[in-house]
Amino acid sequence: MVKIVGGEGDDSILGTANSDFILGRGGSDVLQGLGGDDIIDGNDGSSLIHGGSGNDQIATARGPATIYGGSDSDLISVGFYDSASVLRVFGEDGDDVIVVSVRELLGGSEISGGAGIDRIVIGSGGSLPYAESFVEPIVDDFYQSISGIEVWHLTGYYSLLDFNKFGYSTTAPQGLMVGGVGPLTGEHIDSYPTHINDTPLWEVVVEIADYNFQNVTGNAITFYAGGYEGGGQSVRIDGSAVTSGSLIFREPNSLYSDFGINWSYALNHIGGAGADAMFGGREDDQFRGNGGDDYFEGGDGVDVLVLSGQAANYSVTEVFYNTFVVRDLVGGDGEDTIVDVNILRFSDGDVPIVIAGMDIVGDDSDEDLSGSESADRIDGGGGNDTLNGKGGHDILLGGSGSDTLSGEDGNDLVDGGSGDDLIIGGSGKGNDILRGGEGADTVKYTSAKSGIVVDLGASIAHGMEAGDVAEIGSDTLETIESVVGGNYGDLLIGNEFANELAGMDGADVLSGCGGSDVLRGGKDGDYFEFSAALAASNVDRIRDMETGRD
């Protein structure tokens, strides 16, 4: 891989036909990757970036920025917080992932996925106030300027995508799926009906938290029946255009449709011939898919999935902790995904679900808890714990206390919880989500096999070379304050908060960005970058400066 590093001025860098690593640094740069699987980082300069062909990884930490992914499937990550700016992103061909963690976008901004099945992720910086400012200009300055995005995913703890910002009649010609931890809301429920009509939306979550009768039109809509205990709330699916969807019951409510089917809380969930998604409540639920590739999530209670054939005609495979795929080998019931379902009811009898992985819950003492080679869930509880997931796609929850967490192999979700936690990021090849939680948290990549890029502003960590030569996968970082790099030449970039960056061995590049940072280069000749004007809020400290070498 060819490595090309720009200067502090305005650079124009043209890559090769092979896989390149291109770093822009400061200034107004033009960076072009051409062929190969390139890694292009605009850093903190205003950039015009062309990925070209190949599966590229493109990042920038400051606007204004214009990014073209080019052909093939690209990962484009943007994270800037200092001030409002203009962002223009065009995924172009391929199945692209666009990660956006910004404070505010100015008019003239545009995000387009282009061809392929594209995904936009509003990252950890996109919590409630940021997400609102992110979608607000769509009405004021560039209505319908976000297009061609098939999947929206909100990763912040309080992420919010509010359709009020899009206007009264919201349309999505290419279809739209919204997922994540935050609610998706419409107009004020107690005053105005929310109409999502014209060209139907696909898999839209609508949360209703009042007593009113609500009319919503569209195709394949997911409803969260919220409300209050004993409120008697109803949701009506209005119009025959609704062909499939999801039913989620949180409180004792009822959901009615004009097809004459009545679903009630914690009783029976009956799907149609298409692909349905059904979610249980706090009681014992019973699901029946009636054909199609369906999704069933039981929740609390002893939940049952009713299937039409005999047990010998089905295969059951665990794909994640407490998540199974049930395939009808003869036909009729399709291929269903089940989560938190306890019993499969075949025509010739019931079969209980057996979980291969481990579910481990610690107490308030200091514990050393390890999982298996399957998908495990480990909750440390209180105390200063050491959690090790080993193989499989694991979920590690540190809880309170200062914990050490290592997912190892598999695509793991690691959440430190409260306390000053240490997350071992380079302990496996999987693509992990590493979340520090409250406290001053550190991610450590000392086991990397080659140089790596860790950018807290863009919430990413990956190897510099294509093909995961570093063997750390491609990780998503959330609420991480400090980074320990590997033993090769790394690029470590902070964010607007106070960070501590440690390069270890190798000729490293360390850039604190905003905040009062502590930079430790380690062995070999290192490069310390200071791009912002000196102020009381951003005084950085170098702990191991060696004159004539660093």
Q: What digits encode the pLDDT tens for the residues 291-322?
A: 778 778 877 777 888 888 888 899 988 777 67
pLDDT level of residue 255 (50, 70, 90 thresholds): very low
Mean pLDDT is highest, among 103-112, 194-203, 212-221, 445-454, for 445-454
Residues 6+ apart with CB under 8 A from 296: 269, 277, 278, 279, 280, 287, 289, 303, 305, 336, 337, 338, 339, 341
pLDDT at 549 over 50: yes
Task: Give the span between the Cα atoms of 504 and 456, in whole angstroms.
Answer: 18
Place of tokens 């799926």: 177
pLDDT single digits (tens) 109-149:
777 777 776 776 654 433 222 222 223 222 222 222 344 44
Query: 244 or 29: whose pLDDT is higher?
Result: 29
pLDDT single digits (tens) 434-476:
999 999 999 999 999 999 999 999 999 999 988 888 899 899 9
Q: Specify the amino acid at residue 345.
A: R
Task: Give the span between the Cα atoms of 115 and 118, in whole angstroms.
Answer: 8
H/E run at residue 509 = strand 509-511
pLDDT of the residue at 352: 82
Torsional class of 154: left (φ above 0), alpha (ψ -120 to 50), beta (otherwise): beta
How many Å separate Cα 479 from the centre of its chain?
A: 13
pLDDT single digits (tens) 364-408:
999 999 888 777 889 999 999 999 988 888 889 999 999 999 988
- pLDDT cut 90: percent of the chain above it: 26
